[in-house]
Structure 1
Amino acid sequence: MQIQINTGSGIHGGEGLNERAEAEIASVLDRFSSQLTRIEAHLSDLNGEKGGPDDKQCVLEARPTGQHPVAVTHRAATVEESYRGAAESMAHLLDSKFGRLHHAKGGETIRHMAAPE
């Protein structure tokens, strides 16, 4: 699983920020690594120097193998909170997506159960 971090012009932090974001996203989404080819994180500052609540945004896009990409967005007061929240949202989305692919409505049907003796 490849992770790519993209930052907007209002986000400062350099390589240190990229490494921390990549490590956090990788740790949260590690259990899906065999099912994903790439993850892209787009970090941006919505208000520039004006500040304000929830002005940092992370759009996280995951590309499952052989399927259409999925994306989530999370806004927070800090860049770290934004990519952490986006990673957790993506984990919930992927749990739901991959769970539906491998489970038929949550359990076995009566047709597949053994007959009582």
Structure 2
Amino acid sequence: MVDAVHTELNPHQSSHKDYNLSRRIDSESEFERQREAEKTRVRFWRERMAECRPLGFLIGLPFALIALVLAAVGAVIWVLGSILSCICPCCFCCSALANLAMKLIQLPVKIIRWFTDQIPC
């Protein structure tokens, strides 16, 4: 009786029963979305673990450490090249030097990826 009077006074406002029903449906749909997201995360990690090759990583690790020293040298070259290109922007060799330094900085990651791709287990 109160809901009927309340609805007659405010026709745009829904009753408490409708609100509870819509809230329950929203929570169920949210639960389904979370469940699908969890399934997607599990599928992603299963695919990533299929690509995991610890032996290739361990064999490539010493070479990556040597490349890490070269990456530090590349970082110093990159800083010097950036300073020189700011001082003299017309000098094209500074930009080539900075590009070479960026390749040196990326070298450890490339070496580890190469080794893990080469070793099948």
Q: TM-score range by the shorter chain?
A: under 0.3
- Give the TM-score taking structure 2 as reference length: 0.27
Structure richer in strand, relative to its length: 1
**Structure richer in helix, relative to its length:** 2
Larger relative contact order (Cα-Cα within 8 Å, sequence gap ≥ 6): 2
